[in-house]
């Protein structure tokens, strides 16, 4: 259990060799789920996007491709994630369309009221004080902007609940728990979609 626990715990804050392996696995292993989530952004045409908990940078790359006129700010509190995301989206950074910074979603230093879209893929499991973090996200969004959360776990599936017991600081939230925290943080409306055959959740919250 020792090495396995060390490896899966890298999902929280990737570091070192195991963290690099985890980030590479995230970029490939979560791609289908992330793309399923992105399909829900049908009416959104953002110019400024914040990708929170960016991991290895793959999903920011997908956002840059989906919205060719948009600029994306990637944020993660793992130094290794920031380095990996910078390498993954190097061309877009050089083109002036992407910025990657280290930061904590519970105390965002991004400019307020400028983003049209914020995204969080497979990351809110590790956000301490969900309502506080959601309020921070609300602060950087324009009125009418969208915050999208995409989770592999719906908070009830046995596999994720097993990992919740193994990985320190991990919490798998149900759709109801996420919605309550979003509304308490000031979001005006929340819509949730559950994948028909998997425990995946996509939550769209409007400021």
Closest listed residue to residue 8, CA positions, set 193, 191, 168, 207 = 168
pLDDT at position 8 is 46
CATH of the domain at 48: 3.40.50.150
Average pLDDT over residues 105-113: 96
Average pLDDT over residues 161-173: 85
Residue 30 predicted with pLDDT over 80: no
Closest listed residue to residue 107, CA positions, set 136, 76, 149, 128 = 136
Residue ranges making up the domain that contains 18? 2-206
* Count of the separate structural domains present in the chain: 1
Average pLDDT over residues 154-183: 90
- Are 120 and 52 in contact by the 8 Å Cβ rule? The answer is yes
- pLDDT tens for 49-105 read 999 999 999 999 999 999 999 999 999 999 999 999 999 999 999 999 999 999 999
% of the chain with per-residue pLDDT over 90: 76
Residue 122 predicted with pLDDT over 80: yes
| 0.85 exceeded by pTM | yes
Model confidence band, residue 15 (pLDDT cutoffs 50, 70, 90): low
pLDDT at position 163 is 76
- Are 136 and 105 in contact by the 8 Å Cβ rule? The answer is yes
Residue 5 predicted with pLDDT over 60: no
Average pLDDT over residues 133-149: 98
d(CA 205, CA 133): 14
- pLDDT tens for 32-53 read 999 999 999 988 899 999 999 9
Residues linked to residue 42 through DSSP beta bridges, in sequence order: none
Pairing state between β 189-194 and 201-206: antiparallel
pLDDT at position 19 is 47
Helix (H) or strand (E) holding 71: strand 71-76
User: Taking all residues of the chain, what is their mean pLDDT, rounded to a whole number?
Assistant: 90
pLDDT at position 172 is 93
């Amino acid at each position: 259990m020792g090495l396995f626990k060390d490896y899966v715990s890298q999902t929280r804050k990737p570091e070192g060799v195991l963290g690099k392996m985890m980030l590479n696995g995230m970029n490939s292993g979560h791609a289908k789920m992330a793309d399923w989530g992105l399909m829900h952004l049908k009416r959104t045409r953002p110019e400024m996007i914040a990708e929170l908990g960016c991991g290895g940078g793959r999903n920011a790359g997908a956002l840059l491709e989906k919205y060719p006129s948009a600029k994306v700010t990637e944020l993660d509190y793992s130094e290794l994630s920031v380095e990996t995301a910078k390498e993954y989206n190097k061309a877009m950074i050089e083109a002036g369309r992407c910025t990657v910074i280290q930061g904590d979603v519970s105390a965002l230093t991004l400019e307020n009221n400028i983003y049209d879209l914020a995204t969080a893929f497979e990351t809110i499991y590790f956000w301490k004080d969900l309502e506080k973090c959601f309020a921070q996200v609300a602060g950087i969004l324009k009125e009418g902007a969208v915050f999208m959360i995409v989770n592999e776990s719906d908070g009830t599936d046995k596999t994720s609940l097993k990992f919740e017991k193994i990985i320190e600081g991990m919490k798998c939230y149900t759709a109801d728990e996420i919605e309550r925290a979003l509304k308490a943080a000031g979001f005006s409306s929340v819509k949730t979609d559950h994948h028909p055959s998997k425990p995946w959740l996509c939550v769209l919250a409007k400021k």
